[in-house]
Chain A
Amino acid sequence: MPNRNISLRRQMTDYFFTGLAASLSVIVVSALIAILAYLVLRGAGSLNLSFLTQTPKPVGETGGGMANALLGSVMILGIASLFGVPVGIGAGIYLAEYGRNRLGQLVRFTSDVLNGVPSIVIGLVAYGLVVLPQRHFSAFAGGVALAIMMIPTVARTTEEMLLLVPHAVREAAFGIGIPQWRTTISITLPTARAGIITGVMLAFARVAGETAPLMFTAFGNQFWSFSANQPIAALPLQIFTYAITPYDDWHRQAWAGALMLVILIVGTTTLVRFVFMRRMLGGAR
């Protein structure tokens, strides 16, 4: 017969651990809420038209904005995508369609290694590869640093998504006489499109907030710059610069910049999650 005593104690233990796991989960979720809430609370007030249209004002003058940093981020990310996306997708195609060999293994491994390299180290390397030979900081150097960070994510998601495309789809194409390269470009890639876009956008969102790799490459700039060859401001860099100063005006700007950045990143991530993820699963099955 069941021993009620033990059963009660075991039941209590069960409740205890369920409660523990639930409350620790609540703590984690509250951390997120706390961070987002403070961003809105402190940032929303300063996130106005002048923030979006003006350049930074010197200390003591109120107002000013981060328009140049916004543009800078767009330029750097554009350059990064220009290099990172084609290389990443190409490497992904290689891995999925031709990579069942030693070289494929090596590339896969290397790409995972690259994914784990601390971003500050990428910054150091981009400095050595681009800034030093050119003898000046530039948007281009920042773009190279971020491109390096995008490549592994794009490559591995592209590979995964291509592998989700059933082999029967490829066989059907071969069967009607379409050559392999054509099959990949016109049949396989389009089938996996939603998934690959997801990967690209997630990689994009991930590097959009990176600061460390830009410190020794894009460097930052208090003024407008429209050249890929000049030091340029970027949103995360500007937030960092302002956050560690002692001036309240600049702190407000930093919060507004942070809110802006999070809206962009969370917006991208959420969009990807709700629009593309669904379509991706639909397309692959």
Chain B
Amino acid sequence: MGAAREPHIPDGQPTGQSFGAAAATRSNQPDSSKVPFVNQTREAPAWKKSVINLDSGFKGLMLVAALVVLGIVGLIVAELMQGSALAWQKFGIHFFFGSEWDPVSGGFGALPFIYGTVVSSLVALFIAVPLAVAVAVFVTEMCPKPLRRPISYATELLAAIPSVIYGLWAIFILVPILRVHVEPWLMKYFSWTGLFTGPAYGIGMLAAGVVLAIMIVPIISSITREVLAVVPQPQREAALALGATRWEMIRMAVLRNARAGIMGAVILGLGRALGETMAVTMVIGNSPSIAKSLLAPGYTMASVIANEFNEATSDLHRSALIEIGLALFIVTIIVNILAGLMVWTVTRGTPARTNA
């Protein structure tokens, strides 16, 4: 076969480019060594000194601001530990396993609140995860382009609505619907699970779970969108080139690659749900009992603080509430760090996908 004639450098560019790059690096060096100011006059040292002072003064000031952030978290920890010392001395670790909560007789156990917090959050995740992941997948992979922005904007707005307004809406709109339509239906068909028994109040764990779900959909779906976006385009193309349908491509190349990140998004949602206060307080029924039925009223750690802290008369009661706050603080931090790590392992170093 007749090979090409004479020396041809394919496209001619590579060598040219490398020359250019080398030249650029070389020419940079003398410049940067020239940057420091040259002492030309006698005044220069004084002038330079004042510049240096201002420079380090400015840096110091910014450093103070940064240290304030550290200080605040330190103060939070100190304040919570100090405030809860009394309850900790009195009950020790049993505080978290006792189910009696009686401010009058002075017996405090946090179990009902822990139970309510966990159960309402799990209900919320159960509802929110499919919704949030579906929105994320739909927006990044499926929907026609003109719909993309409106849908993302709608989820963003959901995130901007304050908790107290969700609570208001839930009390007057959601709860009646649950009581009249949803709960009787659940009782009829699913009472065998034991999760849907007893009178349909409307308010209760289920209502709290549903409103929490709406509130955490935006965070889960926006983080999920981020992790889907960093799945490299070649992965999608590889799947499509094998003859995968769009859904198969999503399953094989996108969701599989993004698993850990989506899990992180879900955990982040859990973190939000655990600490959410107002909306839950308004619809959960505020009764410190442990019931298997999701239709029964419950209580969460955040709501008991919201409801009782201002009215607490004894130091022990106040201290017990602060200890619940401390527990909530620790748990949400652990959950958030965990979630952050999972999202980070997926998104680190990868620039967002450009549709090239």
Contact = CB atoms under 8 A, between A and B. Distances in A.
Interface of A: 10-11, 13-14, 16-18, 20-22, 24-25, 27-29, 31-32, 34-36, 38-39, 42, 86-91, 93-95, 97-99, 103-104, 106-107, 110-114, 116-125, 127-129, 148, 151-152, 155, 174-175, 177, 179-182, 184-185, 205-206, 208-212, 215-216, 219, 236, 239-240, 243-244, 251, 254-255, 258, 261-262, 265-266, 269, 273
Describe B's contact surface by its main secondary structure: helix
Interface of B: 31, 35, 37, 51, 54-55, 57-59, 61-70, 72-73, 75-76, 79-80, 82-83, 130-132, 134-135, 137-139, 142-143, 151, 153-158, 160-169, 171-173, 214, 217, 221, 245-248, 250, 271, 274-278, 282, 302, 305-306, 309-310, 321-322, 325, 328-329, 332-333, 336-337, 340
B343 to A, nearest CB: 11
Given A107-B69, A116-B271, A261-B162, 9 more contacts: A32-B157, A88-B65, A94-B65, A114-B69, A116-B333, A120-B277, A128-B83, A269-B160, A273-B153
A87 B164 CA distance: 28
A125 to B, nearest CB: 5
B131 A118 contact: no
Given A25-B135, A28-B217, A128 B79 contact: yes
A211 B329 contact: no
B154 A152 contact: no
Most B C-beta atoms less than 10 A away, residue of A180, A205, A261: A180
A211 B164 CA distance: 7
A132 B54 CA distance: 39
B253 to A, nearest CB: 14
A212 B309 contact: no
A27 B131 contact: yes
Given A14-B245, A32-B157, A93-B62, A25 B138 contact: yes
A195 B248 CA distance: 39
A212 B277 contact: yes
Nearest to B59: A98
Contact of B168 (A129, A182, A258): A258
A120 B305 contact: yes
Contact of B68 (A87, A117, A124, A265): A87
